[in-house]
């Protein structure tokens, strides 16, 4: 069992408390989706659980089933609502969830990046 300590002063915790603004895209009981402040694609949305989870494996271990179901379904709904779901004729998208130092995670609150609206390119840029 892993142990995580959650920093409640991180920027996404402050967005969830309404202390700093965000451009909201979709909100449900357990999940918030908002535009990334420095978009890397025409659609660049961050999807976060409202609970205090640091990264994906923390969420998978510690979140309740309703939170996990809500998060997963909200991500799927977002793809449909943005018109990027391939099954609905959309051109597709990429999901990214960075974790820890090797994952180059900047904000220690779980977030999935949804990138779409152009070809996103190779999966990973290899460093020499
Ligand atoms: P990561 O490197 O996966 O932790 O990504 C953090 C992301 O959060 C980056 O893409 C930032 O542009 C984004 N970000 C940081 N602060 C804000 C903010 N106040 N509102 C929206 N996005 C933000």
Domains present along the chain, CATH in parentheses = 11-109 (3.30.428.10)
Query: What local confidence, expressed as pLDDT, does residue 58 receive?
Result: 98
Predicted model pTM: 0.97
- Tens-place pLDDT, residues 3-35: 899 999 999 999 999 999 999 999 999 999 999
Residue in this structure with the two tokens 């996990």, named with its chain if needed: 68
Pocket test for ligand 1, best of 10, 34, 46 (most atoms within 8 A of CB): 46
How far is the CA of 22 from the CAs of 11, 18, 19, 45, 85, in angstroms? Answer: 11, 9, 10, 11, 24
- Tens-place pLDDT, residues 74-89: 999 999 999 999 999 9
Pocket test for ligand 1, best of 107, 108, 115, 124 (most atoms within 8 A of CB): 107
Confidence of residue 1 (pLDDT cuts 50, 70, 90): low
* Average pLDDT of the residues in 100-123: 97
Structure tokens at 47: 């999807």
């Amino acid at each position: 069992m892993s142990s995580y300590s959650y920093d409640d002063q991180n920027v996404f915790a402050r967005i969830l408390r309404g202390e700093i603004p965000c451009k909201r895209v979709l909100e449900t009981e357990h999940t918030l989706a908002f535009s990334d402040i420095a978009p890397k694609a025409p659609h660049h949305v961050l999807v976060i659980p409202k609970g205090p989870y640091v990264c994906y494996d923390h969420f998978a271990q510690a979140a309740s089933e309703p939170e996990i179901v809500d998060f997963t379904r909200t991500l799927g709904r977002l793809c449909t609502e943005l018109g990027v779901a391939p099954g609905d004729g959309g051109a597709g998208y990429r999901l990214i969830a960075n974790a820890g130092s090797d994952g180059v995670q900047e904000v220690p609150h779980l977030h999935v990046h949804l990138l779409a609206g152009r070809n996103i390119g190779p999966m990973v840029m290899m460093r020499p």
